């Protein structure tokens, strides 16, 4: 597990078949043995006799541990060309800085020139080809098609065999073949690696099973007390041999938990094993117990092991083609020419390219600087794909920095319509603005609010994306500090914020949009508290939304029940992504459709006054009947924080903006106050004089035209009267139809507010 994950394809695992390999062989003119080859005995399979001493010697254990941390070095150490490189030690190439698995990636794709030159030549094309041809098979008797270095050498065809066997082909054709070969070759290599990995995992489990089944005994998970203390002390010091023992115990405990009736020790219950497993996971992977338990609870024991293991290796490097500037094929070609080894990320995306190796820094190529691509995790494509923004729509990205998803939205919208890209963090907004410019996005307005304010800022969006701030439990491979940093408080505060944001997002969608009326909620967390629970909360507080299918081609269904909690069955339509299943970051995606206006007195984004909303979710599939009692205008005013216009708040904004503008110009903002005071003082006498003059004028007029005055008074009276009459009539209407009246007021208020805020912002 965890071996070569950066090489593994992202998305749904593809089925492997012998026929597939045989076809590949036939294509390349390699003889195929039509009788299905028996699976070669796995290189990792050990005999019991061989395994025993390994377990008992420190050196052997360290070696196995080192192997684990090098992500399966057993495989890579022998990653050679069927004997050609059998004595090759690990690569000398400097490991990439990210992680162990980066090292691993370099190792696997490192083309050791001295080893390969004699087989494949040394020009660039050749070098590139060597990557695709596969170089990591170690068994002499392995007739795998990928191991074509040897075949190439033997046949004397070398690399031409891969790229071109026709010297007269024009340049364009050759280039196309180059790309095809690059991608095809990598595909083969990946398929091979997948097969190997699967086999290796199985063998490992078999080994462990064999080991623990020596003499047919039940696994001994719990030793005597003294022994346990010793292990605990050593574990504390993280001594390598103990890590090896821990790993063994983990696999044994999992085996027992999977077949508790048969393998459980008498007198011990399941929870003892589960607790032991939890402790071992914490010790082995370095999680705090709180988080480890939370994550472990998401899966059956064996899958939890796979999840923790997957968090130990980095996900593949992926770039998203910016279709506002280029096409994926052109980009792939340009990068291949620079020595980047890549292939399409998977059938599910038309814009992603998975990068395996690069001779150049991907964040500084001319193509990068020209905005032809952005470095973006594959999982980050998913929320935007689910949102599916259309041309000429009005969209909102509520938490947008640094803009990976905003710019993806802009590309899907072909730079038409408008996107409001919001983020309250000014520092992060700089990255957002940078990306918008670099990628040539021209339909986006950046704003800087706490998104909980959003229905007040503006609403009526065709589509809204809320890629919410979260605990990051899906991206532990990227940020291992999450393992120890997250505690109970985070899983109370973050969901609270997420719920508020989600309500604000819902309220910002135009339910009557002709093209949309959709909202996508996503997080890079796998915690139920931040996902299903937040969605369930929103469903209960907003009867005017329902969940719809995300339309995503893969992903696990969201939970409809979890640890005794039951969620609405429609939660099945949400999607979960895990690193161990799809080789992408852990992610969650939910898509809502807004099917009616938000009731004026519904729970507010700030969480206040949520008692009155009817919690009727039986209507989820059909038309929503809003049973919320409509309040009187006065009651609504008390509750509706979106309504009203806070003049003081606005004045503060203006004041702050003035001060900031002065600071930007290098002026002292205090001078503004002094200046204002002086101005005021100077104005006061002038104003007084002006007022006196006016008064005099009025008096004169009154004196000269008393008749006129009388006439005007007479005219004014009927006007006042009719005003009063209108008010009375209005009151009457309200009494007759209070619902309509209060609805209208609640509709109008946000609009008023909207205008005011936009003005202020300008
Ligand atoms: C997961 S990141 C967004 C990543 C972004 N969507 C992208 O694809 O590049 C979450 C963002 O939420 C922002 N955030 C935090 N609190 C927020 C709030 N109250 N309102 C809106 N955004 C918030 C953070 O500044 C952060 O940039």
Give residue-wise pLDDT tens across range 175-198: 455 455 555 556 666 677 777 777
Asked if residue 400 belongs to a known ligand binding site, the reply is yes
Query: Which of 387, 399, 433, 504 for a ligand 1 pocket mutation test, highest count of atoms within 8 Å of Cβ?
Result: 399
- From atom 6 of ligand 1, which residue's Cα is the shortest distance away? 400
What ranges in 522-595 are assigned the alpha helix state H? 532-541, 579-582
Ligand 1 pocket residues where CB is under 6 Å: 380, 398-405, 423-425, 428, 450-452, 467, 469, 501
- Ligand 1 centre from 366 Cα, in Å? 29
Please indicate whether residue 672 or residue 412 has the higher confidence score (pLDDT): 412
Where is pLDDT greater, at 428 or 34? 428
Contact call for residues 331 and 362 (beta carbons, < 8 A) = no
Q: Which of 320, 382, 386, 401 to mutate to test the pocket of ligand 1 (most atoms within 8 A of CB)?
A: 401
Question: What atom in ligand 1 is closest to the CA of residue 401?
Answer: 27
Helices (H), 608-737: 633-639, 647-664, 669-704, 706-736
Say if residue 423 carries a ligand binding annotation: yes
Burial of 222 (0-12, 13-18, 19+ CB in 10 A): middle
Q: Which of 442, 328, 416 is nearest to 374 (CA)?
A: 328
Any binding-site annotation on 405? yes
**Å from CA of 207 to ligand 1 middle:** 46
3-class state of residue 555 by DSSP: coil
What is the enclosing helix (H) or strand (E) of 202?
helix 171-212
Per-residue pLDDT of 116-136, as tens digits, reads: 232 223 333 222 222 222 223
DSSP for residue 464: E
Assess contact for 204 and 305: CB atoms under 8 A: no
Supply the residue whose CA is at minimum distance from atom 15 of ligand 1. Answer: 469
401 is in an annotated binding site: yes
The span from the CA of 298 to the CA of 300, in Å, is: 7
Q: Pick the more confident residue, 140 or 508.
A: 508
350-373 CB burial, b ≥16 within 10 A, e <16: ebbbbbbbbeeebeebebbeebbb
Give the residue, by CA position, lying nearest to ligand 1 atom 16: 469
Mean pLDDT, residues 406-422: 98
Q: 602-660, pLDDT tens digit by residue?
A: 756 655 554 433 333 333 333 333 333 334 445 444 443 333 345 666 677 788 888 87
Residue with CA at minimum distance from ligand 1 atom 5? 400
- Can you give the pLDDT at residue 705? 44
User: Which distant-in-sequence residues (6+ apart) come within 8 Å of 62 by Cβ?
Assistant: 240, 241, 244
Instruction: Name residues whose C-beta falls within 8 Å of residue 584's C-beta, 6 or more positions apart in sequence.
Output: 10, 11, 315, 377, 378, 379, 577
Q: Any known ligand binding at 195?
A: no
pLDDT of residue 46: 34
Task: Name the range with the highest mean pLDDT among 39-48, 187-196, 551-560.
Answer: 551-560
Range 458-486 average pLDDT = 97
Give the distance (Å) from ligand 1 centre to CA of residue 354.
25
Tokens of 44: 């990792």
Ligand 1 centroid to residue 398 C-alpha, Å: 7
CA angle, 369 then 317 then 387, to 5°: 85
DSSP lists the bridge partners of residue 81 as 137
- Measure 379 CA to ligand 1 centroid, in angstroms: 16
Which numbered atom of ligand 1 lies nearest the CA of 380? Answer: 8
**Residue 108 neighbours by CB distance under 10 Å:** 24
Give the span between the Cα atoms of 505 and 459, in whole angstroms. Answer: 9
pTM of the predicted protein model? 0.61
Would the ipTM clear 0.95, i.e. be above it?
A: yes
Q: Pairing state of beta strands 575-577 and 556-557?
A: antiparallel
Q: How far apart are CA 748 and CA 597, in angstroms?
A: 13
Q: Is the pLDDT of residue 508 over 80?
A: yes
What is the spatial distance between Cα 737 and Cα 727, in angstroms, rounded to a whole number? 15
Instruction: Give the number of the atom of ligand 1 that is nearest the alpha carbon of residue 402.
Output: 9
**397 CA distance to ligand 1 centroid (A)?**
9
Instruction: Identify which of 377, 384, 424 to mutate to test ligand 1's pocket (most ligand atoms within 8 A of the CB).
Output: 424
Looking at the CA of residue 432, tell me the nearest atom of ligand 1: 9
- For residue 399, say whether it is annotated as part of any ligand binding site: yes
Task: Give 589-605 pLDDT, tens digit per residue.
Answer: 999 999 999 777 675 66
Nearest CA to ligand 1 atom 1: 469
From 757, 577, 530, select the one nearest 649 (Cα to Cα).
757
The pLDDT score that the predictor gives to residue 270 is 93
Q: What is residue 665's predicted lDDT score, i.e. its pLDDT?
A: 72
Residues 6+ apart with CB under 8 A from 453: 504, 605
Cα–Cα dist 675/677, whole Å: 5
> 731 is written with which tokens?
């009151």
403 labeled binding residue: yes
CA distances from 285 to 144, 245, 476, 672 (A): 35, 13, 11, 57
List active site positions: 524
CA of 450, closest atom in ligand 1? 20
pLDDT digits over 309-353, tens only?
999 999 999 999 999 999 999 999 999 999 999 999 999 999 999
Task: State which ligand 1 atom lies nearest to the alpha carbon of 465.
Answer: 6
CA of 436 to the centre of ligand 1 (A): 16
Q: Scanning the structure block, which residue is given the tokens 């803009």?
A: 403
Distance (Å) from CA 499 to ligand 1 centroid? 14
Whether residue 45 is predicted with pLDDT greater than 80 in this model: the reply is: no
467 is in an annotated binding site: yes
What was the pLDDT predicted at 188?
64
The pLDDT assigned to 117 comes to 31
What does the chain come to in residues?
762
């Amino acid at each position: 597990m965890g071996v070569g994950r950066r090489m593994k394809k992202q998305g749904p695992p593809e089925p492997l078949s012998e026929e597939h390999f045989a076809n590949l062989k036939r294509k390349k003119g390699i003889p195929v043995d039509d009788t299905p080859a028996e699976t070669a005995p796995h290189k990792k399979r050990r005999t019991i006799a061989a395994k025993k001493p390994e377990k008992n010697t420190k050196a052997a254990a360290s070696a196995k541990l080192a192997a684990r941390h090098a992500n399966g070095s057993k495989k890579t150490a022998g990653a050679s060309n069927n004997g050609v490189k059998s004595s090759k030690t690990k690569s000398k190439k400097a490991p990439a800085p990210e992680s162990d698995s980066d090292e691993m990636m370099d190792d696997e794709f490192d083309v050791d020139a001295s080893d390969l030159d004699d087989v494949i030549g040394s020009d660039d094309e050749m070098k590139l080809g060597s990557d695709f041809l596969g170089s990591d098979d170690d068994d002499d008797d392995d007739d795998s098609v990928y191991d074509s270095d040897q075949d190439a050498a033997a046949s004397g065809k070398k690399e031409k065999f891969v790229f071109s066997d026709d010297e007269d082909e024009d340049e364009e054709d050759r280039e196309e073949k180059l790309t095809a070969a690059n991608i095809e070759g990598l595909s083969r290599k990946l398929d091979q690696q997948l097969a190997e990995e699967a086999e290796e995992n199985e063998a490992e489990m078999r080994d462990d099973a064999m080991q623990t089944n020596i003499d047919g005994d039940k696994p001994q998970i719990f030793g005597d007390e003294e022994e346990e203390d010793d292990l605990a002390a050593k574990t504390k010091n993280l001594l390598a041999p103990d890590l090896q023992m821990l790993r063994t115990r983990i696999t044994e405990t999992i085996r027992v938990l999977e077949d508790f009736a048969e393998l459980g020790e008498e007198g011990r219950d399941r929870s003892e094993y589960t607790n032991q497993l939890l402790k071992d996971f914490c010790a082995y992977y370095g999680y705090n117990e709180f988080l480890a338990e939370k994550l472990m609870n998401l899966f059956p024991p064996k899958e939890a092991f796979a999840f923790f293991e997957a968090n130990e290796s980095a996900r593949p490097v992926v770039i998203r083609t910016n279709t506002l500037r280029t096409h994926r094929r052109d980009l792939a070609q340009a990068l291949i020419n620079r020595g980047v080894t890549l292939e399409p990320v998977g059938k599910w995306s038309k814009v992603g390219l998975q990068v395996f190796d690069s001779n150049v820094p991907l964040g500084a190529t001319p193509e990068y600087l020209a905005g032809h691509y952005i470095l973006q995790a594959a999982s980050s494509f998913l929320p935007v794909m689910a949102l599916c923004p259309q041309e000429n729509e009005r969209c909102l990205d509520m938490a947008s920095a640094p803009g990976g998803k905003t710019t993806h939205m802009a590309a899907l919208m072909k730079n038409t319509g408008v996107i409001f890209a919001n983020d309250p963090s000014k520092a992060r907004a700089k990255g957002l603005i940078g990306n918008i410019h670099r990628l040539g996005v021209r339909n986006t307005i950046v704003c800087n609010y706490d998104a909980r304010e959003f229905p007040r800022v503006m609403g009526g969006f065709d589509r809204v994306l809320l890629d919410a701030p979260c605990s990051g439990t899906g991206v532990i491979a990227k940020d291992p500090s999450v393992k120890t940093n997250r505690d109970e408080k985070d899983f109370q505060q973050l969901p609270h914020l997420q719920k508020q944001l989600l309500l604000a997002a819902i309220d910002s969608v135009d339910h009557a949009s002709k093209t949309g009326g959709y909202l996508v909620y996503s997080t890079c967390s796998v915690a139920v508290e931040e996902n299903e629970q937040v969605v369930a909360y929103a469903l209960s507080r907003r009867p005017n939304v329902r969940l719809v299918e995300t339309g995503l081609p893969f992903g696990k269904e969201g939970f409809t029940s979890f640890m005794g909690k039951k969620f609405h069955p429609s939660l099945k339509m949400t999607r979960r992504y895990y690193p161990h299943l799809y080789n992408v970051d852990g992610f969650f995606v939910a898509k809502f459709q807004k099917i009616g206006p938000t009731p004026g007195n519904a729970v507010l984004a700030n969480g206040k006054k949520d008692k009155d909303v009817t919690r009727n979710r039986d209507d989820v599939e059909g038309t929503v009947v809003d049973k919320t009692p409509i309040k009187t205008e006065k009651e609504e005013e008390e509750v509706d924080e979106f309504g009203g216009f806070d003049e003081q708040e606005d004045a503060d904004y203006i004041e702050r903006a003035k001060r900031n503008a002065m600071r930007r110009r290098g002026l002292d903002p205090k001078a503004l106050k002094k200046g204002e005071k002086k101005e005021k003082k100077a104005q006061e006498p002038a104003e007084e004089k002006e007022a006196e003059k006016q008064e005099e004028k009025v008096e004169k007029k009154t004196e000269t035209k008393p008749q006129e005055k009388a006439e005007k008074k007479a005219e004014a009276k009927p006007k006042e009267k009719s005003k009063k009459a209108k008010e009375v009539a209005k009151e009457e209407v309200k009494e007759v139809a209070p619902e309509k009246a209060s609805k209208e007021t609640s509709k109008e208020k946000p609009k008023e507010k909207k205008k005011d805020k936009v003005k202020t912002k300008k």
